[in-house]
């Protein structure tokens, strides 16, 4: 079952308030079109009725697609600072789901590894990577390796991390976008041959020893091993990035004011 809720949104550009329907939980088995929307980035896209500012509200969501072994807790990006505390709660939430599930569903849950993501963008990435057919932890290891190898180029962009956007070139390459930590906007694109991901898989034990949290914890992200807090954005970059936060193509990531009226679909 999926649950929806009427939520009051606040336009980040003009402050206008309006009501929108957002999901509390998505059962992908019953709502196939929702998964398509998440994958193509149109999920819960809103536009301010007053000034037409684009918005993709950030909120709590539980996404499950048991046929694909996916059970994902989404929390707003603003809560990522509390990663340790939030991550500790994921197994118990998953356990409660298992306990309350009908026997036929519980059988599927035994194959599921609970995941945690922060924000709509990471949820989209989680589903995208699952379709690559490569373990998510290895994709994150590939990002960390690329990050090291491309450090001279990426360093000129200020603090960034890489986000997977699926495959291109008839499936030959995996595509990654460099995201600026300061404003969340795209800064560049990196392609990695899928064969390189295969080579990584052959060294899984080596990477598992180097980055154990990626293989053992619900939050499977290279950002666990980044140190933005210790490396604040230099003033030059803060100024330069500021101009890119509100381009017509950008979608403001937040805007949820409060919510009520939960119901099921």
User: What residues line the site for Zn ion (CB under 5 A)?
Assistant: 11, 13-14, 16, 48, 50-51, 53
- Rounded to whole angstroms, the Cα distance separating 170 from 223 reads 29
Nearer to Zn ion, 14 or 155 (CB): 14
Query: CB of residue 17 vs Zn ion: minimum separation in angstroms?
Result: 10
Nearest-approach distance from CB 186 to Zn ion, in angstroms: 23
d(Cα 171, Cα 26) in Å, to the nearest integer? 28
Pair of tokens at residue 142: 């590939």
Residue nearer to Zn ion on the CB measure, 48 or 190: 48
Considering the complex, state which of residue 16 and residue 30 has its C-beta at the smaller distance from Zn ion.
Answer: 16
Distance CA 159, CA 19 (A): 35
What is the rounded distance in angstroms from the CA atom of residue 199 to the CA atom of residue 203?
7
Q: How far is the CB of 221 from Zn ion (least distance, A)?
A: 31
Which is it for the CA torsion 106, 112, 114, 120, positive or negative?
A: negative
Nearest to Zn ion of 37, 246 (CB atom): 246
Shortest Cβ 74–Zn ion spacing (Å): 24
Strand pairing partners for 9? 18, 256
CB of 121 to Zn ion, least distance (A): 21
Cβ distance to Zn ion smaller for residue 14 or 201: 14
Q: Residue 183 Cβ, how far from Zn ion at the closest point, in Å? A: 19
CA dist 65 and 85 (Å) reads: 25
Q: How far is it, in rounded angstroms, from Cα 60 to Cα 74?
A: 6
Taking the C-alpha atoms of residue 73 and residue 156, their distance in angstroms, rounded to an integer, is 33
For tokens 């990471």, what's the residue?
A: 122
Q: State whether residue 221 is helix, strand or coil.
A: coil
Query: Which residue, 51 or 172, is less far from Zn ion as judged by CB?
Result: 51
């Amino acid at each position: 079952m999926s649950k929806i809720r009427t939520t009051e949104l606040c336009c980040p550009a003009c402050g206008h308030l309006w009501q929108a329907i957002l999901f509390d939980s998505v059962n992908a088995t019953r709502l196939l079109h929702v998964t398509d929307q998440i994958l193509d980035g149109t999920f819960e896209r809103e536009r301010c009725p007053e000034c037409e500012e684009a918005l993709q509200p950030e909120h709590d969501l539980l996404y499950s697609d048991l046929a694909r072994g996916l059970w994902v807790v989404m929390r707003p990006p603003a809560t990522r600072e509390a990663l340790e505390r939030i991550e500790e709660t994921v197994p118990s939430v998953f356990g409660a789901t298992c306990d309350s599930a009908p026997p036929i569903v519980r059988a599927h849950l035994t194959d599921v590894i609970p995941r945690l993501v922060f924000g709509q963008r990471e949820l989209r990435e989680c589903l995208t990577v699952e379709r690559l057919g490569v373990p998510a932890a290895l994709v994150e290891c590939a990002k960390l390796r690329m990050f090291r190898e491309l450090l001279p180029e990426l360093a000129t962009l200020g603090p960034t991390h890489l986000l997977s956007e699926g495959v291109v070139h008839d499936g030959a390459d995996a595509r990654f976008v460099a995201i600026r930590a300061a404003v969340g906007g795209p800064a560049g694109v990196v392609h990695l041959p899928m064969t390189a991901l295969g080579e990584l898989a052959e060294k899984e034990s080596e990477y598992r020893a180097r980055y154990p949290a990626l293989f053992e914890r619900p939050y499977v992200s290279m950002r666990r091993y980044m140190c933005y807090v210790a490396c604040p954005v230099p003033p030059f970059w803060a100024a330069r990035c500021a101009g890119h936060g509100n381009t017509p193509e950008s979608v403001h990531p937040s805007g949820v004011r409060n919510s009520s009226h939960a119901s099921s679909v």
